[in-house]
Amino acid sequence: MSSFQHRAALNVLVLDELAVLGVDAFITTRHGGVSTMPYDSLNVGLHVGDDDDHVIENRQRVADALSTSLDQMVFADQIHGARIATVSQEEAGRGARFIENALSATDGLITQEAHLPLALLVADCCPIILVEPQRHLLAVVHAGWRGTAAGITRSAVSEIEQLGGSSELIRVVIGPSIDATRYEVGDEVVAGLTQDLDSSLIDFVDTSSPRAHVDLALANRAQLLASGVADEAITLVPHHTDDERFFSDRTARPCGRFGLFAQFIA
């Protein structure tokens, strides 16, 4: 199971259950960096108004914790969409120091290459990692409500299958996201999710109170199950973004971003 561990100068949530598959993956906390308020301290997002030099230093600390180079990591310009990009060593360093050369309009990354760390940034949305060990496929997905409604998790499974993988072999970890009890949403979100009848997302929208609530983690879990991923192969990390160790956009705006970082090491 996942556990908080010290890596280099950082305390991160390590996804231990994936180590047996040859994957080193962890989720950063908001602590251990150099950013000042309101981004204190390990903000890894270049797009939220923080000082770029601080963010790059924070990302360098993450690279050290991964025993890699910052210029080997791949970042996406996330837009709450459903595009998945397949990346190789040609994309190493994209978005690491400049948001302008991040993978454009992309909310999911997939690779078959070892020692190519994939990065996703979140502050309430679901960070999701998928591993298909037989075909050596690793994917990371950023699933906010728009991406969830657009079926980004289903798209990730489909991309894995198109690359020769099998949904039946996929192992998934869904990281810390906003707790459903805190995720009050308006009519736009309810309409966007409940129109997605294929994955029955309406089951994860609670309209019994004056303001609707959404469980993003369970909605994405349902999409995975509908895509052929086994129930026992899906792990939900038992932490949410109301935990002060993580950034939460619902709690404070502006705020920083924590990240999901993953690479094949074998």
pLDDT at 218: 93
Contact 43, 30 (CB under 8 A): yes
| Strand, helix or coil for residue 74 | strand
**Per-residue pLDDT reduced to its tens digit, 126-168:** 999 999 999 999 999 999 999 999 999 999 999 999 999 999 9
pLDDT of residue 202: 66
Nearest in space to 25 (alpha carbons), one of 174, 217, 219: 174
Measured CA to CA, the distance from residue 255 to residue 71 in angstroms comes to 25
Q: What is the mean pLDDT of residues 45-72?
A: 98
CA 192 from centroid of its chain's CA atoms: 21
Which residues in 96-132 are b (16+ Cβ under 10 Å) and which e? Answer: bbeeeebbeebbbbbbbeebbbbbbbbbbbbbbbbbb
Q: What percent of the chain clears pLDDT 70, i.e. is strictly above it?
A: 97
For a pLDDT cut of 90, what percent of the chain falls above it? 88
Tokens coding 260:
């999901």
pLDDT of 201: 65
Q: Which strands form 84-86's sheet, in the order they lie side by side?
A: 84-86, 108-111, 137-143, 126-132, 171-174, 234-236
The 10s digit of each residue's pLDDT in 170-214 is 999 999 999 999 999 988 888 888 775 454 566 788 888 788 899
Backbone angles phi, psi at 146, to 5 degrees: -65, -45
Look up residue 107 and give its amino acid. D
Mean pLDDT of 97-114: 98
Q: 10 Å Cβ neighbour count for 80?
A: 16
Q: pLDDT, tens digit, for every residue of 15-29?
A: 999 999 999 999 999
Neighbours of 211 (CB within 10 A): 11
pLDDT reported for residue 203:
76
Q: Measure Cα distances from 9 to 6, 41, 113, 119, 206 in Å.
A: 7, 13, 27, 19, 41
DSSP strand pairing (108-111 vs 84-86):
parallel
pLDDT of residue 199: 47
Predicted pLDDT at 4? 97
Q: Where are the alpha helices (DSSP H) in the chain?
A: 52-65, 145-149, 152-162, 187-194, 216-226
Question: What distance in Å separates the CA atoms of residue 91 and residue 57, rounded to the nearest whole number?
Answer: 21
3-state SS, residue 103: strand
Domains of the chain with CATH codes:
3-264 (3.60.140.10)
Q: Is the pTM of this model over 0.85?
A: yes
Q: Per-residue pLDDT for 73 more than 90?
A: yes
